Amino acid sequence: MTDVIAVVPFQYPQAPHARRHGPQGYTDPQRFKPWLRDEFTFRCVYCLSRERWCPDGEDAFSAEHHHPQSLAREEVYSYDNLLYACCRCNAAKRDLTGVLDPVETPLAEHLEVLEDGTIRGLTEDGWDLIGVCQLDRPNLNAFRRGLIEILRALGELNSEAQRQVLRRWFGFPANLPRLSTLRPPDGNSRPAGIVESYYEQRKRGELAEFY
Ligand SMILES: [Zn+2]
């Protein structure tokens, strides 16, 4: 069987992110992490790096406070103020405000990754985000280029060996969070999201092989 590979790893979202989950009442941002992993599909909202691409997987990611903790104390434990980001982007953003929010704006309107792995801003805000998170640093450009080359080299999928390579880089992580077993102290404002979580999709045999 031959399949055309339909993975576009560095396409920023073309719509604002609509939250699927709403755990309430945790007083430790770490407890939100399983929800955020699933919410943002196991990748950094800013640089699009995926857990699968990091030797330490989810340990290289953390809950990022869009409105910084230092300025918005009341939002420190608010799920709707949290994003999923790699530790490097999270550290780079620090306590800055006014940075593009993927929940409010489609990042594809502001940022574009080119075929050679470089990135450019399409707006001033896009360039600002590139500057804040250093999304155009040479190491990251080269890493993106390498992954784009893997995809190009694979061409079409016509062997199990190729599928394995593709799954290694573009499949879902093995340790999908089982959100239905979690009990946030003050409940979940969006319980319908559980059914759509990736763990449940896998259980139903509906999980995409690559993304
Ligand atoms: Zn990042």
Q: Which two tokens stand for residue 197?
A: 């979580």
Reported as a pLDDT band with limits 50, 70 and 90, residue 190 is very high
pLDDT in tens, 54-83: 999 999 999 999 988 777 777 788 999 999
pLDDT reported for residue 2: 57
Q: How far apart are the first and last CA of the chain?
A: 19
Beta carbons of 10 and 113 less than 8 angstroms apart: yes
List the Cα angle 168/174/179 in 5-degree steps.
Answer: 145
C-alpha 2 to ligand 1 mean position (Å): 33
How far is the centre of ligand 1, averaged over its atoms, from the C-alpha of 159 (Å)? 32
E strand residue ranges, the chain: 3-4, 61-65, 82-86, 111-113, 119-121, 156-157
| C-alpha 48 – ligand 1 centre gap (Å) | 6
CA 131 to chain centre: 19
Instruction: Determine the distance separating the centroid of ligand 1 and the alpha carbon of 45, expressed in angstroms.
Output: 7
pLDDT at 5 over 90: no
Distance, CA 111 to ligand 1 centroid (Å)?
14
85 C-alpha to ligand 1 centroid (Å): 5
C-alpha 59 to ligand 1 mean position (Å): 13
